[in-house]
Amino acid sequence: MTAGPAGPAAPAARTAVEAGGRHDRHDRILDAFETRAAAGGIRSVVMADLARDLTMSTKTLYREFPTKAALVEAMVQRWASRFGEAVAAATEAPGAPPVERLRAGVQVAAMWRDRIGADFWQELRAEHPDLWKRCLDAVDAERRLMRTVLRDELRDDVEPLLAAPLLRAMVERSTSAEVRATTAMTLTEAVDAAVDLWARAVLR
């Protein structure tokens, strides 16, 4: 008897479904880990507690991520990838207005800084220097984006060496808990306000 056309494809379909399920579980674990690590640092995360957060067994958790170091690496890699995509999209859109080209990279960077506490950064730098460098490389990508925009759009009477640090300082201030509480702005709104104000002051 000849197999129907759907027969040979069934294993591949199952594999695709299983891969999708693993991907979802992978992201769920990273989301939960990031929430805990962002609040109290890497050392504060206990794998058994993380498994309980996710309502899964520690065995399943360790099957996805054998060590806490593997979780940290995946977390940083995912962030760096998303940040890089946002910066690349902005850099590769020369026809877009300069302010719009800046928003994507600045928004992603601000969201990361807003979520992650000082303990995480200190532990990452001390215990995972290679991943710390990956974060610095991502920040360099943000700076390259700024330089690309500034090269073509900066006013002649503005000092180029001051423009990028000024934007970063304005974004950090506008997104601080104090300012956002006073203005009742969301993080996105605060970033947009800072970028718009900066652009009116330094761009053509």
List all residues 6 or more positions away from 147 whose beta carbon is below 8 Å from its beta carbon. Answer: 164
Extract the runs of DSSP E, i.e. beta strands, from the chain: none
Residue-wise pLDDT for 27-84, tens only, equals: 999 999 999 998 889 999 999 999 999 999 999 999 999 999 999 999 998 888 877 7
**Cβ(122)–Cβ(41) under 8 Å?**
yes
Q: For residue 32, which amino acid is it?
A: A
pLDDT value, residue 71:
95
Q: Are 142 and 172 in contact (CB under 8 A)?
A: no
Greatest CA separation for the chain: 82
> With contact defined as beta carbons under 8 Å apart, do 77 and 134 qualify?
yes
Tens of pLDDT along 119-130? 888 999 999 999
Picking from 91-105, 121-135, 165-179, which range would have the lowest pLDDT averaged per residue? 91-105
At 137, the pLDDT band (50, 70, 90 cuts) reads confident
Architecture per CATH, 9-202:
Orthogonal Bundle (1.10)
